[in-house]
Chain A
Amino acid sequence: MQEKNIYKPIKAKLTKVIEESPMIKTFVLVPDEEFSFKTGQFIEVTVENVGEAPFTPSSSPLETKQLEITVMKAGYVTEEMHKMEPGQYMGIRGPFGRGYPLDEFTDKEVLILGGGCGFAPIRSLLYNLKAISDQVRKVTLCYGSKSPVDCIYKPYIQELRDTPKFEVYRSVDKADETWEEKVGVVTVLLDDVKVDIPNSVVVVCGPPIMMKFGTKKLLEMGYPEDKIYLSMEKNMSCGVGKCGHCEMGNYFVCKDGPVFTYNEIKDSPNIWM
């Protein structure tokens, strides 16, 4: 049996809060105990006496002293998080679930389709891919936001654009006069990218509606069902396959996912809710 109580969080000190956009903040956390995760796995984050919610760390899994979560203000728990300041403590449990199968990305082109706060897990994946960039052919990021102010990780985007093997395409639903990139829902970016489909895998992470139309378009483009990796979002409580909240047909998303291939879940109910 595992040594740890699966329900007990360890404390993590909030050392820095980064405002990414009006609705999104990144929290830098230093856990009191050793803590590591694989990219795509998630953690349960507790605000003491308030509640708990699942987040996928947005930092590199190779960084072991601290981790970052990028949180969109969306409700009860996340609003409390947005009020927190450096020096305070959060609780963390995990890591939980199955992350991205990087072994299967070897010698492949990796296309990444992300929207909104779906960029959080993707950034962790990008850090990881950069560290092993000799093992992949190319990484293409297509990232959509509502408007230019909602675009997050601006300095990091610049850094990526300057990185060999990495390409970045961005779109916003609604542009302003400063915007020089594409306008439209994120799937329009797929018309511009050049990918060698038989030798590539694709990762999709974002709001359900984006995942739905993104997947549809990718299938039309000829991506095989088992090469499309989706990060599923479900209501969660325990994170460990006991509480039933995340049940999606024959899967507990927390334990069997959150990353699934389209092939694995295409027959499950309510995948796009």
Chain B
Amino acid sequence: MTAYRLTEQMWADHLAEVIRDFSVFAPIKKENSTDFEEITDKKLGSIYYGGNTPTTPLKAFFFPIKENVTTTNQTQPRILIGVPNCDLTALVLLDNIYLGGDLKDEYYQDNRDRTIIFGKDCDTIKESCHCTAYSIKPYSEKNCDISMSVSDGYFYLSPMSEKGEKYLDKFKFNQLEALDSLPEKVIQNRETMLANLQKQNIDIPDEIASRKGIEKENKVLWKKHATTCVSCGACSMICPTCHCFLLIDRKDFEKVKNWDVCQLPDFSRVAAGEDPLEKLYERLKYRYLCKFAYKPDMFNALACTGCGRCIDTCIGKINKNVVIIEACQ
């Protein structure tokens, strides 16, 4: 893997230059979390390059919480820094849904096109991180434009797409000396993270075993776990692969695409009143089937990338991995 090495100063100068033409978003450390913020001159120094998943899932940049899909598309070019690999892997499914088939979602397409994504190397693990259960690594090797590793005061950039190559070319980074591989210390961190995750996730069934377990379970398990679900929908809103939305109508035949999720009541109710997901436990079960059976079959992509957000966020304390482990017993 080709990498270009930038000093801290070079990277800082570069950022100061690009924020004039691009909107730059990067993780900023908060008290108990990190989250993406738009980077202004003042925040240039506070970007947090380490950690694991920012609170906001990557999808929000391409599939915003609310987006008018009948007026002009946004065109402002953007740079996203510090995207973890679980979120990058989720893009495979989202791209297949929104851009696959005969009819493409041009708003999603434009949002993708105007964005350069920098993948990161995770350097901490939260209790709920379980990417490796599904063979996803805690660093980026594809599904982004540029992979970025930070170590010993240097920034290492590797192109991962044509768009990434063009970017490095535009800013003449490819005129720097090209390293054949990342430095030992970066590789070492990657391997340590991978090994720690594998150890942490040793009991979590992989996607194939999870599916088998989920498919064989009928009511009992779902009813048991659904007892603490309050149907808030947070688990799905925050999930990087959940893609569902509802079009809301406005004046002049305008439509606004709004996040919507199957865990909320009425998601699948038809006019006659019938609703296959009327009961809470049916909705819970459906979510697992959608992620481990329906979506992989329909779109040939993982629909859970192990980011752990649904586990962190659930006020009913429903732990997806506990549910799956029980389903697989």
Contacts and interface: CB of A to CB of B under 8 A. Distances in A.
A51 B294 contact: no
Contacts of B245: 237-238, 242-244
A8 B272 contact: no
A235 interface: yes
A5 B270 CA distance: 26
Interface stretch (A42-50, A121-129, A176-184): A42-50
A245 B104 CA distance: 17
Contact of B106 (A6, A238, A244): A6
Contact of B270 (A8, A50, A235, A251): A235
B244 A245 contact: yes
A8 to B, nearest CB: 5
Given A2-B104, A46-B249, A243 B244 contact: yes
B224 interface: no
B298 interface: yes
Q: Is the interface of A mostly helix, strand, loop or mixed?
A: loop
A82 to B, nearest CB: 13
A146 interface: no
Contacts of B102: 2
B270 A242 contact: no
Interface stretch (B175-183, B227-235, B251-259): B251-259
Given A208-B272, A235-B270, A250-B297, A241 B101 contact: yes
Contact of A269 (B97, B105, B249, B276): B276
Interface stretch (B27-35, B46-54, B198-206, B260-268): B260-268
Contacts of A215: none
Interface string A225-249: 0000000011101101111110101
Interface in A41-80: 46-53, 72, 74-75, 78
A207 interface: yes
Contacts of B272: 74, 207-208
Given A51-B249, A250-B294, A244 B244 contact: yes
Given A1-B106, A6-B105, A242-B97, A270 B246 contact: no
B278 to A, nearest CB: 9
A241 B104 contact: no
Nearest to B266: A235
Nearest to A207: B272
Residue among A74, A234, A249, A273 with max Cβ neighbours from chain B (10 Å): A273
8 contacts: A48-B251, A207-B272, A208-B272, A237-B246, A244-B262, A245-B267, A250-B297, A273-B270
Interface of A: 1-2, 5-9, 11, 46-53, 72, 74-75, 78, 91, 207-208, 233-235, 237-238, 240-245, 247, 249-252, 255, 269-270, 273
